[in-house]
Amino acid sequence: MFKVAVLISGAGTTLKSILDDAKKDASYEVGLVLCDRRCSGTAYAEKENIPYKILERDHTLSDRVLEEVASFDLVVLAGFLSILEGKVLETMKNRIINLHPSLLPSFGGRGMYGIHVHEAVHRSKMPISGCTVHYVDEVVDGGSFILKRIIGIKDAKNPEEIQSLVSSIEKGALTDAIRLLAKGEDFYESTH
């Protein structure tokens, strides 16, 4: 079985989507949830009897994450707000993925998270936005793309409306990418 560890920082709604998908798909299973702070998302792990740990946010966080996830086939950053660095990125090369709420490489990098991304997209006057599932490497939002999803935003009046539209496609994109990787498929996809 393809074993997945999920890293979270908040409410865990993306974790819940992954857990629901794993029940339906059976090509992968979540075996561990790690958090970089106390958060309500651990309730989903508890409900499914999945081990979870809260790791203190300090300069050794990346090393402690590596100790926990080294045996996993895939690590999914699901709203994980800390930046992984160093040996974990080398050891887990092409085994850590993240979902970014824009069509990378546009609107990515340090400081580009949450509403900040959608504010930048809104200022750009782009008629489309979307999300990108990508591998995590030493450059923030710089890893190779696995899958992109595109959505029209020309009628969005503000960043919050863009965020809502993009949010509607994010969880499906992430679970699709996990399934592709669990089944040994790795390709770039763009859909409307």
Please state whether beta strands 96-100 and 128-135 pair in parallel, antiparallel, or not at all (unpaired).
antiparallel
Which pTM was predicted? Answer: 0.93
The contacts found for 68-71 with CB under 8 angstroms, 24 or more apart, are: 68/5, 68/32, 68/34, 69/5, 69/32, 69/34, 71/3
| Domain stops at, among 62, 92, 122 | 92
| Alpha carbons 117 and 111: distance in angstroms, whole number | 9
| Cβ 164 vs Cβ 151: under 8 Å | no
The Cα 25–Cα 179 span in angstroms is 8
Assign residue 104 the CATH number of its domain: 3.40.50.170
* Spatial separation of the C-alpha atoms in residues 84 and 27, rounded to whole Å: 27
Could you tell me the residue range of the domain that residue 183 belongs to? 99-192
Q: Measured between alpha carbons, how far is residue 82 from residues 20, 110, 126, 133, 166 in Å?
A: 25, 11, 29, 17, 22
Task: Please indicate whether residue 100 is annotated as part of the active site.
Answer: yes
Domain check: are 140 and 189 in the same one?
A: yes
pLDDT one-digit tens code per residue, 46-105: 999 999 999 989 999 999 999 999 999 999 999 998 999 999 999 999 999 999 999 999
Are 117 and 187 members of one domain? yes
User: Are 72 and 128 within one domain?
Assistant: no
pLDDT band at 190 (very low <50, low <70, confident <90, very high): very low
Tokens 């489309």 — which residue? 128
Where residue 132 falls among pLDDT bands split at 50, 70, 90?
A: very high
Which pLDDT value is given to residue 191? 42
| Average pLDDT of span 128-147 | 97
Indicate which residue of 100, 118, 122, 134 is catalytic.
100
